Amino acid sequence: MLKANTRLSRGLFVDRDIERFRDQLVRFKPVLSKGYSASLLADFDQKTERLISEVFGDASDLLEAYEYAQLGEASSMVNLPEEAQEPGAQDVDRESLQQRKRVLESCISELETCRADAFRKRRLLSKTAPRVSDFMSKDLHTLNHEATLREAGRLLKKYKIGSLLVDDEKRYVGILTEADICRKAVAQGLNPEGTPVKACMSKPIISIADDEPILEGVRMMKAKGIRHLAVTEDNTIVGILSVADLVRYYSGVE
């Protein structure tokens, strides 16, 4: 049984862990085809045991199976996928190598199952969870990229908002937030009367589709380290999702 505090049980880094086990299999191919030295195999075993322990836990069946595989006894310890034996293969050492390979393949299979289960759960959640469109602001306030920071400040104060979409008269080219003004203008002592918005705006615009779950907006803001997301419908910006909107969402959750 998996430990409660393993990475797998918490659903973290599954894609990366799958690749790590696949890399281990790639590294194992020369051992299977060309022979090996005792020191090389010992180093491989040590790294593989450490990887299995890190992902599945010290008490996992897969770790125990790998340890027994080194003695040629893995098949009796864990329910591994069946694999046809090579014709005439009687060599114990050779079979031990094949059993190592099967354990690694089982690790990948277990992780892929975990990933598929997580995907199904996200799909189910997305059908029932509140969506971005339910909490976004539909009022779009914009200004030209050549406008000054002083003009931007006036608009932010007038509309009591925290961000402005920036355009070049043809398309949106960035977003200017209160944080941009503080970090890129005030902190550097720029003149608000003469500094154009394009000097401080954030680009490219990071967006989220309006039909995404609101929790995906939370995830994106956290991952990107931002407080505002442009909201799109059919690749057209139709709103803004801000931290203030997320506060409204969470304030209604018991």
> 212-241: per-residue pLDDT in tens?
888 899 999 999 999 999 999 988 999 999
Query: What pLDDT sits at residue 33?
Result: 75
Query: What pLDDT sits at residue 200?
Result: 93
**Crossing angle for the helix pair 214-224 and 243-251, to the nearest 10 degrees:** 140
Query: What pLDDT sits at residue 252?
Result: 62
What's the structural domain count of the chain?
2
Residues of the chain with pLDDT under 70: 1-12, 34-36, 72-91, 122-128, 252-254
Q: Is residue 1 part of a domain?
A: no
Residue-number span of the structural domain to which 41 is assigned:
7-127
Query: What pLDDT sits at residue 86?
Result: 45
Q: What are phi and psi of 209, to 5 degrees?
A: -70, 145
Edge-to-edge strands, sheet with 236-242: 207-209, 228-233, 236-242
Q: Is residue 204 part of a domain?
A: yes
Last residue of a domain, one of 106, 127, 148: 127
Query: What pLDDT sits at residue 40?
Result: 85
Query: What pLDDT sits at residue 123?
Result: 65
Query: What pLDDT sits at residue 96?
Result: 87
Last residue of a domain, one of 112, 127, 142: 127
Tokens of 225: 């380290």
> 92-109: per-residue pLDDT in tens?
778 888 899 999 999 999
Q: Return the half-sphere exposure (C-beta side, CA atoms, 13 A cut-off) of residue 237.
A: 23
**How buried is 228 (Cβ within 10 angstroms: 0-12 exposed, 13-18 middle, 19+ buried)?**
buried
How far is the C-alpha of 50 from the C-alpha of 211, rounded, in Å? Answer: 42
Q: Is residue 119 part of a domain?
A: yes
Average pLDDT of the chain, as a whole number: 83
Query: What pLDDT sits at residue 94?
Result: 81
Query: What pLDDT sits at residue 72?
Result: 65
Last residue of a domain, one of 80, 104, 127: 127
Residue with tokens 């139709």: 238
Q: Is residue 2 part of a domain?
A: no
C-beta of residue 71 within 8 angstroms of C-beta of residue 45: no
Amino acid at 53: S
| 120 and 171 housed in the same domain | no
Tokens of 187: 């902190």
Q: Is residue 76 part of a domain?
A: yes
CA distances from 212 to 78, 106, 130, 175, 249 (A): 41, 34, 9, 21, 14
| 148 and 183 housed in the same domain | yes
pTM exceeding 0.75 = no
